[in-house]
Structure 1
Amino acid sequence: MVRVIKPGFYSTIQDLGRLGYQDYGVPISGAMDQYSSRFANAVLNNKPEAALLEITMTGPILEFQIETYICISGADMAPKLNASPIKMNKVVHISPNDLLSFGGLTTGFRAYLGVFGGFQTGLCLDSRSMFNSITSTVKIEANQLLPILTPKVKFPNVNSSLKFKSEIFNSSCIEVFKGPEFDLLNSSQQERLFQPFRVSGSNNRMGYQLEELLENNLPSILTSPVMPGTVQLTPSGSLIILMRDGQTTGGYPRILQLKESAINFLAQTYKGSLLQFKLVD
């Protein structure tokens, strides 16, 4: 077990999400930055869908009650084991009673704590991802016990050559495809759409709103399917980018659709971050 001493700002159990339930209005959920989550699992020889702890902005304090191995990827929050700094993106051996804590945020916005075999919290609709009204809790809480597996053998360090692609934090380019309603925009709207925007303070696991407005004279559409990465244009001209916990249908024009790599990048941004859409085939 892992005991939560302090939960941090917003820490949740996430995997690759609930696929196949969108017809029932259930969001996909899952790790916001799936490049970083998959990387941590790969370093640990876990399956890609193994559940991790997604840590947002400030980290928790965790007490490990059994031996295990961990890997922390994504945002650098200066992790420490028993008050001594540990490396990111590497296997770290954990002994019983070890304390994991975090310092200040230096790069990115979300970190991923992987453990050997993945966190073993309950499955709901084929996923361990926390989501309101689907799971009993929406984030980890103080004194909560998180079940994990005990390694039966010493962990073989066979993945030491894996290299984390840090450019996920170093580019403002958001690669996108045209959305179903893109061609309804006039030429001046399309031109403005590919100039820089800033992330607003209205951002969370459901969606990211951008600060600058795009003049909008398009009518609303019939309620239609949307997915993570869909860029909606509201009647007020706001651009809303749906993220992993976003709804499954919407009535606003869908003018762009982010590539998967762009969703991962956006998950590591925060209020004031600059971004610029780039159209790809």
Structure 2
Amino acid sequence: MLNILKPGFFTTVQDSGRFGYRDMGVPVSGVMDAYAASKLNAILENDENSAVLEITMTGPTLEFKEETYIALGGAEMMATLNNIRILNYKVYKVKKGDVLAYGKLEVGFRAYLAVKDGFKTAPVLGSRSFYAPVTERNSIKTLVSLPYVPFKDFDPKISEIKVDSGLDSMTLEVYRGPEFGELTDRQLGKLFSMEFSVAKENNRMAYQLNETIDGCDMSMLTSATLPGTVQLTPSGKLIILMKDGQTTGGYPRILQLSDSSIAILAQKKSGDYISFMLK
């Protein structure tokens, strides 16, 4: 078990996502920065769908009640193990009573903690990803502990990797969305020449951007959306749906972020800048 001494701002259990239920309005959910999480599961030799902790902005303080092996990744949050600084993308052995604590956010916005064989919270609809009301909780704030399988002996093939995390990147590669062809030359010019800053309205559901382009008031039926869908409102505001975003929407879907771009955007906080590059 992992004891939750302090939960942090918004810490959740996430795996690769909940698939096959979008027709019933259930979002995919899953890790926001899939690139970081996949690297951690890889160096721990976990299944790629193993559940990790996703830690947003302010990290938790955690006590391990059984031996295991861990790896950290994503944002840099000055993590310490028993008050000794530890590094991202490196395997560490932890013993009973060891305490992992997160400090000041340095770079990025979301950090990840993986344990050998993943966290073993109860799956719901085939996924351990937190998403209320599908799951009982939306974060670990009300939890006392998280289950994992103890590991006393593990000899990793690779104990440390160098990762191009993309934490400093601001360019989002995008594809044409279904309504891309409705954009005017003026709208296209602004869309691909401007830098946009992340608004304070940003979370696992969607990121809004502060700057606007000319609006789009075309009439359309409510249509399917995906994580990474960029919607354009009549006022010209851009809304980028993320992993917990709704499964349908009525605004024009002008762009679609690539998987790598979703990971990059997941590491941006209010006031950070991004730009779009068409693939």
The two structures, once aligned, show a CA RMSD in angstroms of 1.0
1:262 corresponds in structure 2 to 261
Report deviation, 1:255.
0.3
Verify the 8 A CA contact 2:30 2:129 in the aligned structure 1.
yes
1:31 corresponds in structure 2 to 31
Seq. identity, %: 49
Q: Distance in 1 between matches of 2:19 and 2:251?
A: 23
Verify the 8 A CA contact 1:232 1:254 in the aligned structure 2.
yes
Q: Distance in 2 between matches of 1:217 and 1:157?
A: 53
Give the count of matched residue pairs. 278
1:175 corresponds in structure 2 to 173
2:15 corresponds in structure 1 to 15
SS of equivalent to 1:169: coil
Q: Distance in 1 between matches of 2:123 and 2:216?
A: 44
2:191 is equivalent to residue 188 of structure 1: no
SS of equivalent to 2:42: helix
1:126 corresponds in structure 2 to 126
SS of equivalent to 1:192: helix
Verify the 8 A CA contact 2:216 2:233 in the aligned structure 1.
no
Distance 1:62 1:227, change over 3 A: same
SS of equivalent to 1:271: coil
TM-score normalised according to structure 1 size: 0.97
Q: Distance in 2 between matches of 1:128 and 1:193?
A: 37
1:53 corresponds in structure 2 to 53
Q: Distance in 1 between matches of 2:124 and 2:133?
A: 11
TM-score normalised according to structure 2 size: 0.97
User: Runs ≥4 in structure 1, deviation > 3 angstroms?
Assistant: none
* Residues 219-261 of structure 1: per-residue CA shift (max 9 Å, x gap): 2310100000000011221100000000000000000000000
Distance 1:178 1:60, change over 3 A: same
Gaps of 5+ in 1: none
Q: Distance in 1 between matches of 2:10 and 2:179?
A: 35
SS of equivalent to 2:108: strand
Gaps of 5+ in 2: none
2:222 is equivalent to residue 223 of structure 1: yes
Verify the 8 A CA contact 2:208 2:239 in the aligned structure 1.
yes
